[in-house]
Chain A
Amino acid sequence: MTSRPGVPAPVVEMRGITVERSGVRVLDDVDLVLRPGEVHALMGENGAGKSTLIGALTGTLPILAGTVVVDGAASPPTSVAQSRADGIATVFQETHLSPHLTVAENVMIGHEVRGWFGIDWGRTRARASAALAALGIEDIDPRAPLSALSPATKQLVAVARAIVLEPRVLVLDEPTSSLDADEAARLLGVVRRLCDQGVAVLFVSHFLEQVFEVSDRMTVLRGGRVVAEFRTADVERAEVISKMLGEDIDALQALHSQRLAHHYAATGEPTLRAAALGRQGVLEPTDLELSRGEVVGLAGLRGSGRTELARLMSGAERADRGELWLDGVRVQLRSPSAALRSRIAMSSENVRTDGIVAGLTVRENIVLALQALRGWSRPLSRGEQDAVVDTYLDALHLSSDDLDRPAGELSGGTQQKVLLARLLATRPHVLILDEPTRGIDIAAKLEIQRRVARLAGEGVAVVFISSQLEEVVRLADRIVVLKDREKIGELSNGPGVTVDTIVEMIAAELDEPDPGA
């Protein structure tokens, strides 16, 4: 292997990697080359083989065929310990950390500095601080309990833990999925810094923009095979997406082109009307009207009040000021189930903890809300259940094989679809979706987006919240912009509106207060 000038010799070369699981070929003849100082993104939908390839690299999965060459020496990692000895470290989700231990303990666990009398905590903490400093996050107190930190900081601690052993290869698997834009930007900054220090980074993320921001090169997997390798600077987003989906990107563009048409304000009595609705310390008094057949996007950064507004409108949180009117009648929503009885349904931001009941089957999860609405004393018969479930199975492309599996075993995308089916089964007039497409693959995302567009066509008033502004712009008829717990404006979607429009509205500040105010 001769190295060309300007291209450093690879630190990892995987060639012809083939992996089978229960007789099914899940990776087929895959090549992956990681170079020092490069961020290499691994792209693909759920089930494309990303996790399997990481498993093959880090020694957690046996390889059927192929070679893994580390630093020019064939050294197939046969165990996690072996791969770690080869200088390959993996950052797991922050959930793998121990909330009750301190930052230093979490960073150093398993690598504590030992002295005469056991662990030398002073030096252990010093090593931990050094690792944090190397990441530019020395402002984190190594003595703080992990539970006191934000999800983003926890994720950074997880990175610190991975780099304690000064790996030459760092694997990051969906490190930003629970972070908002600012937090993700900080983590990406850390990734770049490690990369500049000569670490080879393998980066897996669903967030296209982050991949484009941070990566130098990308490998796209589909169905266990490599379908493309790109230099990031040379490729268009649409091309990457079409490679991942393996289908024409017409579907994407069809949804996209909806917003090329003008949207006109709905007229007549709104279905749901919030008048100066608010809650002390949570949301300033806010006016909002929802009409049947429109999709209203709530846009803003995390903490802007977008989730809070949704919660106040759906009974998940009690308003302490203002009024809520439903079809011209004033209502007080004391709980989400009271809202559901008024035909207002909301999906929560955190589907995994608040939404899906992991131990129940998909079928049971789908009929849950409908059953609750009807009262537990009148259980739905199997026939009624089947009728409900069948309706949404096709509509959301759920597999009937999954129906009797525990929902917890399914991918995030499938869980989201199950949750949507559950809400739809209650035939809501107002449907509030908070981050319904977060962290799920593009195909599932498109299905949910299409379904949302159709719901509006069927006369439902849909509120759609997403931190991905592109998605809001693509789907919404009207966009409500929030900032610092206050609604700062509304946009009719149309040909003049782009992601930038929303960004600029949030960025704008008036020099002086309105003289008449």
Chain B
Amino acid sequence: MASPADKPNIRQVAQLAGVSHMTVSRVLNDHPNIREATRRRVEEAIEELGYRPNMTARALATQRTRRIGVLVESAATFGPTSTLYAVESAARASGYVVTSVLLRAGEEITPQEGVDHLVAQGIDALCVVAPRSSSIAALRRIAVGVPVLVVKPDKDPTFLTVTVDQQAGTVLAVDHLVSLGHRDILHLAGPLDWLDARTRERSFHARAKSWGLRERPIVVGDWTADFAYDFARGIRELPEYTAIFAANDDMAVGLVHGLHDRGFSVPDDVSVVGFDDIPLARHVIPPLTTVRQNFHALGVSVVDVLRSAIEEQEIPTVTKIPAELVARASSAPPRKVGG
């Protein structure tokens, strides 16, 4: 597809006109915010060089669908749903529409089929939400043909990434509990093949270690409140740990409920901190201390990055959205051990 070297290219046009190649691109695409003088200079350079835009690129450029495809894994949970919602809102505000495919456990849709389905509809870019490592592996083997952004915590050699800062969010939660006096904290993790769960777990491990907290085995959950409820309900005696950091709010709510039914008080016996700040978090009894993920900012950032990629502009470098701690009543100083 590469044009032969002797054909004039967009960079030569830009050089002759004394503008950036992006400006040339904007002129070619009738971008409104171009000064008339600049436009004329570029058009003259195009004529002088006999420049013909690469037809394939041109077709892609002019036949943009202004559609962003979103592949969402297990949209039943709050994080992925909220991310999809936020991306959709931000896309609409920028004049894009969103088409989404939901991959659900137990359904026979592979990432390949999901991508095929979206590409067949014509998309300008693909956004993958809440991916598991297996889907990332599958995605790497698929030639998508448009910019691909993955909402995931670590940088990637292939994909654009945007994320709420999972590591910083976890550190906030741990530091909050430590500052209350907790030295023995249980982590209820999400399934570790989910990259967010993995990052929260690893960050918890590192931060707990650097505080010198009691090293204790983590419990791996499945993101659901039911799982956490069953776990808490089955606790035999008042545990030695004085706080639980759950990897999402659903599980934190399940814990609060299960601990209550088991006869333990939150936060008097055990403090509970979640992650996400779901709308219900502030209405649980006691209201849940949690790490707030700003999904709105995440959606805006996703669309910004994708638009820049589609329009071949410089990609914004700050792609980590800060997390914030929301301290409510489910966390308190630890009970006196042995007292």
* A binding-site residues for B, Cβ under 8 Å: 262, 264-265, 267, 287, 478-479, 488-492, 494-497, 500-501, 504-505, 507-517
Judge if B210 is at the interface, Cβ distance under 8 Å.
yes
B221 cross-chain contacts in A, Cβ below 8 A: 496
Which DSSP category, helix, strand, loop or mixed, fits chain A's interface? loop
Query: Given A267-B237, A504-B192, A504-B193, is A491 in contact with B218 using a C-beta cutoff of 8 Å?
Result: yes
Q: Do the beta carbons of A514 and B203 come within 8 Å of each other?
A: yes
User: Which B188-213 residues have C-beta < 8 A from chain A?
Assistant: 189, 191-193, 198-199, 201-203, 205-207, 209-211
Check A262–B210 contact: CB distance below 8 A.
no
Q: Are B199 and A491 in contact (CB under 8 A)?
A: no
The interface stretch among B54-62, B226-234, B276-284 is B226-234
Assess the A494–B201 pair: CB atoms within 8 A: no
Give the shortest distance, in Å, between B38 (CB) and chain A (any CB). 40
Query: In the complex, what residues of B have CB within 8 A of residue A508's CB?
Result: 192, 198-199, 201-202
A90 to B226, CA, bound (A): 55
- On whether the beta carbons of A478 and B203 are closer than 8 Å, the reply is no
Return chain B residues, CB-CB under 8 Å to A510.
154, 167, 199, 202-203, 206
- For the complex, is B43 an interface residue (Cβ under 8 Å from A)? no
Residues of B within 8 A of A267 (CB): 237, 239-240
Q: Which of B206, B211, B239, B240 has the most CB of A within 10 A?
A: B206
Q: Are B155 and A511 in contact (CB under 8 A)?
A: yes
Identify 20 residue pairs between A and B in the complex whose beta-carbon atoms are under 8 Å apart, listed by A's number: A264-B239, A265-B216, A265-B239, A479-B217, A488-B205, A490-B218, A492-B218, A492-B219, A495-B222, A496-B191, A496-B222, A505-B192, A505-B202, A507-B133, A510-B203, A511-B155, A513-B206, A515-B171, A516-B207, A516-B210
Check B155–A514 contact: CB distance below 8 A. no
- List, in ascending order, chain B residues with CB within 8 A of A504's CB: 133, 192-193, 198
CA distance A91 to B63 in the complex (A): 61
Tell whether, in the assembled complex, residue B236 and residue A264 are in contact, meaning their CB atoms are under 8 Å apart. yes
Task: Give B206's nearest chain A residue, CB to CB.
Answer: A514
B218 → chain A closest CB, angstroms: 6
Give A185 to B219 CA distance when docked, in angstroms.
31
Question: In this complex, what residue of B is CB-closest to A510?
Answer: B202
> In the assembled complex, which residues on chain A have CB atoms less than 8 Å from the CB atom of B153?
511
The answer to whether B193 and A514 have CB atoms under 8 Å apart is no
Contact (Cβ within 8 A) A490 B217:
yes
A513 to B205 alpha-carbon distance, docked (Å)? 12
With A and B bound together, what is the CA distance between A505 and B171 in angstroms? 19
Q: Given contacts A265-B239, A265-B240, A507-B133, is CB(A495)–CB(B227) below 8 Å?
A: yes
The answer to whether the Cβ of B321 comes within 8 Å of any Cβ in the partner chain is no
Check A262 against B133 for contact (C-beta < 8 Å).
Answer: no
- Complex CA gap A509/B203 in Å reads 10
Q: In the bound complex, how far is the Cα of B214 from the Cα of A287, in angstroms?
A: 10
A511 adjacent to B201 (CB under 8 Å): no
Residue of B nearest to A509 (CB): B154
Please give the distance in Å from A481's CB to the nearest CB on chain B. 10
Cα of A511 to Cα of B157 in the assembled complex, Å: 13
Closest to A506 in B: B192
Instruction: Note all chain B residues with C-beta closer than 8 A to A507.
Output: 133
Whether A501 contacts B240 in the complex (CB less than 8 A), given A496-B227, A508-B192, comes out as no
CA of A267 to CA of B240, assembled, Å: 7
Q: Which residue in B167, B175, B193, B205 is a CB contact (below 8 Å) of A489?
A: B205
B312 located at the interface, meaning its Cβ lies under 8 Å from any Cβ of chain A in the complex: no
Complex Cα spacing A4 to B85, Å = 56
* B215 interface hit (Cβ, 8 Å): yes
Which of A508, A512, A516 counts the most chain B CB atoms within 10 A?
A508
Contact between chains at B171 and A501 (CB < 8 Å): no
Interchain CB contact under 8 A, A501 and B191: yes
B143 to chain A, nearest CB (A): 24
Chain B residues positioned under 8 Å from A488 (CB to CB): 205
**Chain A: CB-nearest residue to B320:** A511
Q: Which residues of A contact B218 (CB under 8 A)?
A: 489-492
Q: A262-B231, A512-B167, A514-B171 are in contact. Are A496 and B220 (CB under 8 A)?
A: yes
B203 CB contacts on chain A under 8 angstroms: 510, 514
- Please determine whether A494 and B231 come into contact, CB atoms closer than 8 angstroms: yes
Query: Which residue of the partner chain B has the closest CB to A286?
Result: B215
Contacting pair A497 B220 (CB below 8 A): yes
Q: How far is the CB of A257 from chain B (nearest CB, A)?
A: 16
What residues of A have a CB within 8 angstroms of the CB of B237 in the complex?
267
Q: Are A501 and B217 in contact (CB under 8 A)?
A: no
Query: Which residues from chain A contact B215 at a C-beta distance below 8 Å?
Result: 287, 490
> Is residue B109 contacting chain A, with contact meaning CB distance below 8 A?
no
Contacts of B171 in A (CB 8 A): 514-516
Which residues in A have their C-beta under 8 angstroms from that of B201? 489, 505, 508
With the chains together, A516 CA to B201 CA distance in Å? 16
Across the interface, which residues of A come within 8 angstroms of B198, CB to CB? 504-505, 508
Chain A hits for B285, CB < 8 A:
none
Proximity bits, B130-162, A CB within 8 Å = 1, else 0: 000100000000000000000001110000000
A478 to B217, CA, bound (A): 7
Chain A residue with the shortest CB-CB distance to B223: A496
Partner of A500, one of B168, B192, B211, B235: B192
Residues of A within 8 A of B234 (CB): 262, 264
Residue among A496, A500, A501, A505 having the largest count of chain B Cβ atoms under 10 Å: A496
A492 and B217 contact, Cβ closer than 8 Å, known pairs A508-B199, A511-B167, A514-B171 = yes
Closest residue on chain B to residue A478 by CB atoms:
B217
Q: Decide if B239 touches A511 in the complex (CB within 8 Å).
A: no
Given the contacts A495-B227, A501-B193, A504-B198, A514 and B207 also touching, CB distance less than 8 Å: yes
Please report the C-alpha to C-alpha distance between residue A481 and residue B179 in the assembled complex, in whole angstroms.
Answer: 29
CB-based contact B191/A517 at 8 Å: no
On whether A265 and B217 interact (CB within 8 A), knowing A504-B193, A510-B206, A514-B206, the answer reads yes
Which residues on B sit within 8 Å (CB–CB) of A492?
217-220
Residues of chain A within 8 A of B154, CB atoms compared: 509-511
3 tightest Cβ-Cβ pairs between the two chains A and B: A490-B217, A496-B220, A514-B206
By beta carbon, the residue of chain A nearest B204 is A489
- In angstroms, Cα B236 to Cα A116, docked, is 84
Using CB atoms, name the residue of chain B closest to A268. B240
Closest CB in chain B relative to A284 CB, distance in Å: 12
CB nearest neighbor in A for B168: A515
